[in-house]
Amino acid sequence: MKKTALVLLLAAACCMSMVGCKAKQNSTNNGEVIGGYVQEYAGSIDANAQKAFDKAMEDYTGGKFEPITVLGTQVVAGTNYAILCNETLMTQNAEQALKIVVIFEDLDGSASVLSVNDFSADNVLPSNASGEVGDGAWMVPETVTAPDLDKTKQAAFDKAYEEFVGSNIEVMAYLGSQVVAGTNYRYLCKVTPVVPDAVSTLQLVVVYEDLEGNASFENFYPVDIAAYIK
């Protein structure tokens, strides 16, 4: 895909995400939007989110969760944290599943689990996403990590990013690969346009690396956190 066309595609995706949030964004509190989820972290969980997560899990009797990264925060009468987690299922084989766990921390510092929600990269793709579904099996990592990539996955992302303009892109998690005539990689990313007062959005980013080691961004798919929270 040509650079100009891809930049326009990314801009459109960012606009769609922003428009989708406007109905929920009523006012601000210290720069945070009240009602809508704000993407503000990449790669790790800050001390406040980790403290809320640990507190909420003290009395939680469901599955065992390993936090990966905070996808967004929501200011209410306190704070909701939407946290991407690996869940270890209580089965004989201790199977893994990817979840978005919503933690509520009230103004007094008490925290609880509001919801546990399934998350899959496949569910982010629009129904007309040609070349993304059915052209080869996607290999999904047993345990998702953020953002510590091995050399191969990091090199593919870095190569694609070398000549990209218009937005800063930070990897939040690696979600899988697909062998084609080369390799497709999926990354969950925080995307921030390089403009004043830019609003960051969460995007599923697909990188294609050919057999000669050349890599490029192929597609950007906006992820509406609210759609995965019930």
| pLDDT tens digit sequence for 10-28 | 544 444 444 333 333 333 3
Residue 118 confidence (pLDDT) above 80: yes
Q: Indicate the pTM of the whole model.
A: 0.77
Cβ count within 10 A of residue 36: 20
Strands (E) in the chain, as ranges, are 27-29, 32-34, 64-76, 78-88, 96-106, 111-118, 138-139, 167-180, 182-193, 201-209, 215-222
Phi and psi at 71, nearest 5°, equal -85, -30
Listed residue (6, 3, 49) closest to 219, CA to CA? 6
Q: Residue 96 gets which letter from DSSP?
A: E
Distances from the Cα of 152 to the Cα of 160, 163, 173, angstroms: 13, 19, 15
DSSP string computed for 16-63: HHHHHHHTT--EEETTEEESS-B----SS--HHHHHHHHHHHTS--S-
| pLDDT tens digit sequence for 28-82 | 333 344 457 777 666 678 899 999 999 999 988 877 899 988 888 888 889 999 9
| pLDDT tens digit sequence for 103-115 | 999 999 999 999 9
For the beta sheet containing 27-29, the strands, ordered from the edge strand earlier in sequence to the opposite edge, are: 27-29, 32-34, 64-76, 78-88, 96-106, 111-118
pLDDT score at 151: 87
Rounded to an integer, what is the distance from CA 7 to the centroid of its chain? 20
Instruction: Indicate the pLDDT class of residue 90, thresholds 50, 70 and 90.
Output: low
pLDDT score at 7: 46
Both tokens assigned to 94 = 């201790």
| pLDDT tens digit sequence for 144-181 | 766 667 888 999 999 999 989 899 999 888 888 999 89
